[in-house]
Structure 1
Amino acid sequence: MLNQLKAIIQYLLPKQLLTVIFGWLAKKQLGKVTTWMIMGFCKLYKVDLSEAKINDVKAFKTFNDFFSRELNEDARPVDAGDSVVVMPADGVISQFGTIQDTQLLQAKGHFYSLESLLACHPDMIKFFKNGLYATTYLSPKNYHRFHMPCDGILREMIYVPGSLFSVNKATTESIPNIFARNERVICLFETELGPMAQILVGATIVGSIEVPWEGIITPPREGIMKRWTYDNEIKLTKGQDMGCFKLGSTVITLFASNAIEFDSHLKVGNIARMGQKLADRI
């Protein structure tokens, strides 16, 4: 009942307006006001800054600087095993498993399709049909940069406009097709495992999704799909930083069929730590 009430509130909220307002506020240098915002946020969500390169809240000029903070180099050791695929972000493993034909599990009783998630891209649908997926939810308290689970060459990136529903546990259990309805950035890589995709899902108050090779992808929110293609100029290694959210959201990682085998200890609800083992290459 409570989840249903939260879902109704999500439908009624002016999500785009709230996101625009918060995005504007988060990039402003407001001195003590910025510091108070960060201190309040850290207290509310129990944010741990001890592992961050900058751990003094007064040193952040904007809220976005705080939210896109980097960690100390030794904070997230990357499993160097040749066959190991690592977790792309800190957060919680909300779902993982095999794609049933083209159906992915969002939450108990809720499925969504590759067609809707990948904006009907025919090649990508073919690549990942009957493949594997892992969904990592980043809560507000988490480190909000996302990384490569394996070595790869970027081939294509697509921005898909959409809604900005919150993607926490309550809403994913209540709002159908939420990941395919929300704004997202799809990054397709060529890897030794075959094709691999990282899908960066926006949400309410996520002021920005940013990647180093193109900068800020959203905003602006123009309501149109955008596509970039690449040759061999963008090569990323396992564990390498590939961008950030300017507030919490979700990363969905897709693999081709028979490319990996998930770690035997992995369970839904596990805490995810970037760089730790997610799966083994087959």
Structure 2
Amino acid sequence: MTIKSLIAVLTQQEDLNFLLTNRIPRAALTRFVGWFSKIEQPLIRDLSIACWRLFSDLDLTEARETRFKSLHDCFTRELKPGLRPPDPDPSIVVSPCDAIVGAHGAIADTELFQIKGAPYSLLDLLGDPALVDAHRNGRFITLRLTSSMYHRFHAPQDCRIERVDFISGDTWNVNPIALKRVEKLFCKNERAVIRTRLASGESLTLVPVAAILVASIRLHFLDIMLNAASRGPTVFPCDVAVRKGDELGWFEHGSTIIVLTPDHFEFCDNVLESARILAGQPLMRKPA
């Protein structure tokens, strides 16, 4: 058995996986990794990326650059031009990121779920009753980015970004094992609530949720990095028009984006739990 396969077997043991990724000083480790990943010393960079490959299915063949200044530079890599074209159908809302499809479906009044049998409320997630009302009985989908995936995320539709709310919190792992064990996990972790409005006036909201080793969300349109060290206002009014597929920002490791839409949007046929989806591929359809 290879070292990589042994690691895979061990991390599939739920108790051990949860212990290794959650029962540790999460905030301190996240700060350390944030600092360490930016070291631009070639030996540290190369050993770090080699270790990352050992623990994951990291594939850099799509990366725009073949050499990286640091581990952070590799985390936040761009792709070769044209690799994630958004579906051109104007009725289609596309995936904002490369991801594994998680829980999705109809919001029951204001209740949704992180996995089957583990509900949480829109108010706990979003923190604003007015935005809750905009998505009451709507649709939701959870998109989980693994550590080895492309970490940048994009506009899922032509829209106008009206406001961002940064909500500070914890840095629990967001893998399925933790979702089964930690109640209302997405409502406990740091997150950004990105409010957008479609040309039709309907609300479409993205909620990037940070996790252990992440806890940093870069938003280009605000020219800001949101994390535990953020100070000052946590509400950022803005008025930015974006086109479907435009890059909005990145995570610094891997995490989750929750997409919220009105109730008449329909999931596309490729949206199946545990399926892999790429940024730009169909996610939901707005009926004519």
Instruction: With the length of structure 2 as denominator, give the TM-score of the two structures.
Output: 0.90
| Structure 1 partner of 2:60 | 49
Q: 1:228-256: CA deviations, max 9, x gaps?
A: 112x3x11111111100000100001112
| Structure 2 partner of 1:197 | 205
| Structure 2 partner of 1:30 | 41
Cα distance in 1 for partners of 2:224, 2:44 equals 25
Deviates more, 1:136-145 or 1:204-213: 204-213
Aligned partner of 1:272 among 248, 263, 277: 277
- CA separation of 1:224/1:113 partners in 2, compared to 1, >3 Å: closer, same or farther? farther
The CA deviation at 1:215 is: 3.0
Q: 1:122-141: CA deviations, max 9, x gaps?
A: 21011011111111000011
2:144 aligned partner, one-letter code: Y
The gaps in structure 2 that reach 5 residues or longer are 1-11
Aligned pair 1:175/2:182, yes or no?
Answer: yes
The gaps in structure 1 that reach 5 residues or longer are none
CA contact (8 A) 2:215 2:228 kept: no
Query: 1:17 is paired with a residue of what secondary structure?
Result: helix
CA contact (8 A) 1:160 1:225 kept: no
The CA deviation at 1:153 is: 0.6
1:17 aligned partner, one-letter code: A
Deviates more, 1:196-205 or 1:184-193: 184-193
| Structure 1 partner of 2:153 | 146
1:167 aligned partner, one-letter code: V
Cα distance in 1 for partners of 2:69, 2:269 equals 43
Matches within 5 A, 1:88-99: 88-99=96-107
| Structure 2 partner of 1:248 | 254
CA contact (8 A) 1:134 1:253 kept: yes
Instruction: With the length of structure 1 as denominator, give the TM-score of the two structures.
Output: 0.92
What is the Cα-based RMSD across aligned positions, in Å? 1.9
Deviates more, 1:157-166 or 1:69-78: 69-78
**Residue identity (%):** 29
The CA deviation at 1:257 is: 2.1
| Structure 2 partner of 1:60 | 68
The CA deviation at 1:4 is: 5.2
Aligned pair 1:113/2:114, yes or no?
Answer: no
The CA deviation at 1:9 is: 5.5
Cα distance in 1 for partners of 2:141, 2:91 equals 17
Cα distance in 2 for partners of 1:269, 1:177 equals 20
Aligned partner of 1:163 among 150, 153, 170: 170
Cα distance in 2 for partners of 1:36, 1:177 equals 36
